[in-house]
Structure 1
């Protein structure tokens, strides 16, 4: 793991429900979270099925990282993404399950 290029991540104690919910309002970001929710391991930025270009996707990953929802790190030249499931669950029990379930049911969560 290349520690020199790891972007900053908020501490668990700094996570706020407002910032988390604001990040989840966007359907592209919810799609990223849902894909990570199902992934058995971290996923490279290029490994997502997204309806946006690379620069827009980069913006969405940054918003999710800054909200504390994902952790990013490098493996070689690939930027990897992992859902901070345990940390988010500890801070806000049930939020990720509710958001993913609502999206899968075909309705956006009331955020």
Structure 2
């Protein structure tokens, strides 16, 4: 579950951003992410369920901390490896604000319907 959580480029961006500050310094809205509120909520939930981050409510804000010590006890060296991985400007499969998928080449699919034979008109 932890590897799957860290494999997503949005979740990886969250982990990288929260790793650069102290515990409980980042609110959910303060992360620079190319997704809407519902997607943010989903990504934070996946990271919480995997044990990568912890969140707590403080007034109207939800604060986040990286569970580095706890995570390193279960997966020694994994976070360092992930955090030090080279970064790309445009991760594969990230959707832009207009909903278009960026970074992947799409191939055209031919229709499985044939105009020959079959049950036309029935």
Q: TM-score range by the shorter chain?
A: 0.7 to 0.9
Of 39, 44, 57, 1:61 maps to: 44
Equivalent residue in structure 2 for 1:36, among 18, 27, 31 = 18
Cα distance in 1 for partners of 2:12, 2:84 equals 11
For normalisation by structure 1, the TM-score amounts to 0.75
What stretches of structure 1 of length at least 5 have no aligned partner? Answer: 1-18
Instruction: Specify the alignment match of 1:7 in structure 2.
Output: none
What secondary structure sits across from 2:40 in the alignment? Answer: helix
Aligned residues: 88
TM, length-normalised to structure 2:
0.69
| Structure 2: 5+ residue stretches without partners | 92-122
**Aligned twin of 2:78:** 95
Distance (whole Å) between structure 2 residues aligned to residue 61 and residue 72 of structure 1: 9
Cα distance between partner residues in 2 of 1:48 and 1:58: 12
2:23 & 2:6 partners in 1: Cα distance?
Answer: 21
Q: 1:22 maps to what in 2?
A: 4
Supply the distance in 2 between the matched residues of 1:106 and 1:79 (Cα, whole angstroms): 27
Deviation at 1:106, TM superposition (A): 2.5
Is 1:106 matched up with 2:49? no
Partner of 1:9: none
Q: Which has the larger helix fraction?
A: 1
Moved over 4 A (4+): none
Alignment match, 2:95: none
Q: Secondary structure at the match of 1:86?
A: helix
